[in-house]
Amino acid sequence: MKLAFSTLGVPGLPVADVVRLAADHGYHGVELRAHPEEPVHTGLDRARRADVAAQFKESGVEILGLAGYARLAAPGDDAAVLAEIRELLGLAADLGAPFVRVLPGGSPGQSPEEADAVAARRLGTAAEHAADLGVRILLETHDSHRTGADVTRVLGLVGHRQAGALWDVLHTWLGGEQPADTWAALGPFLGYVQVKDAATGEDPAPLPLGAGAVPLAECVEVLSRNGWDGWLCWEYEKRWYEAAAPLPDLLGPGREHLARLLNESA
């Protein structure tokens, strides 16, 4: 498996520094948080996009994907959500990124059936555009669709190869789903896996990998046992937890921890 980290852990850090951190600590790739407060976002002109792509290419570090914030099941018209996804897909294509992350974003006022139907309708439409660009849209296990079973309900309605899943191991754990059950649900759709650690469900503040209670070893073992050979991406949510330890100091030990888990599960 290849290892990456998300720029959510180093908010606002210039691209050159992100690339250097990845290369210096032995990571194969980086997930770029696509947001206006970050160096990489959909407002970049073509020259800047080409510069970002060149910096990664020269370093040998891959752009794993873009972490977007489009919410598939959010109330309102389809047009705004689809326009946001199209902008993300265009940016990903220009950067050479294979994946775009989207969120479920269902509201408390929706029934699960309504949220599934809205999300599937929008995802199916967006997937057609994604296919034209050679990019895959991944629906993350998150918020209203926290488990693999939840996400699979949507993907089963879509049935498009450019629509897949992103397994966030924290959210499936918080949803009470066992790793083997998550794999059974998401395996056919899986794009990549976000790993993270936290002390408890009541305190999801980010911890160094291996320092918390999230069943990382079991998740890696399930992936290895089933022959999956994709990406593990460390999403350290420093952006939302200012008191969390700085990610750059943790990148080396984090990579070593993941390497141990991979060796143990081989």
Burial class of residue 225 in the structure, from the number of CB atoms within 10 Å of its CB (0-12 exposed, 13-18 middle, 19+ buried): exposed
- Sequence-separated (6 or more) residues with CB below 8 Å from residue 71: 81, 102, 103, 104, 105
Burial class of residue 243 in the structure, from the number of CB atoms within 10 Å of its CB (0-12 exposed, 13-18 middle, 19+ buried): exposed
- Sequence-separated (6 or more) residues with CB below 8 Å from residue 253: 208, 209
Q: Residue 42 pLDDT more than 80?
A: yes
Q: Are strands 136-140 and 231-234 parallel, antiparallel or unpaired?
A: unpaired
Domain locations in the chain? 2-265
Please give the share of the chain, as a percent, with pLDDT higher than 90: 97
- pLDDT grade, residue 98 (50/70/90)? very high
- pLDDT grade, residue 265 (50/70/90)? confident
- pLDDT grade, residue 19 (50/70/90)? very high
Q: Are the C-beta atoms of residues 121 and 147 closer than 8 Å to each other? A: no
- pLDDT by residue (tens digit) across 135-187? 999 999 999 999 999 999 999 999 999 999 999 999 999 999 999 999 999 99
- Residue 232 pLDDT: 98
| Alpha-carbon gap, residue 127 to 133, rounded angstroms | 10
- pLDDT by residue (tens digit) across 50-73? 999 999 999 999 999 999 999 999
Cα-Cα-Cα-Cα dihedral sign, residues 168, 56, 9, 213: positive
| Alpha-carbon gap, residue 216 to 197, rounded angstroms | 8
- pLDDT grade, residue 3 (50/70/90)? very high
Mean pLDDT score, 78-107: 98
Burial class of residue 46 in the structure, from the number of CB atoms within 10 Å of its CB (0-12 exposed, 13-18 middle, 19+ buried): exposed
Q: What average pLDDT does the structure give for the chain?
A: 97
- pLDDT grade, residue 129 (50/70/90)? very high
- Residue 256 pLDDT: 97
Mean pLDDT score, 261-266: 87
Burial class of residue 266 in the structure, from the number of CB atoms within 10 Å of its CB (0-12 exposed, 13-18 middle, 19+ buried): exposed
CATH class of 2-265: alpha beta
Encoded tokens for 51: 């510069």
Integer CA distances (angstroms), 76 to 14, 125, 237, in order: 35, 16, 28
- Residue 17 pLDDT: 98
- Residue 201 pLDDT: 85
Q: Residue 202 pLDDT more than 80?
A: yes
Burial class of residue 261 in the structure, from the number of CB atoms within 10 Å of its CB (0-12 exposed, 13-18 middle, 19+ buried): buried
- Residue 41 pLDDT: 98
| Alpha-carbon gap, residue 117 to 28, rounded angstroms | 36
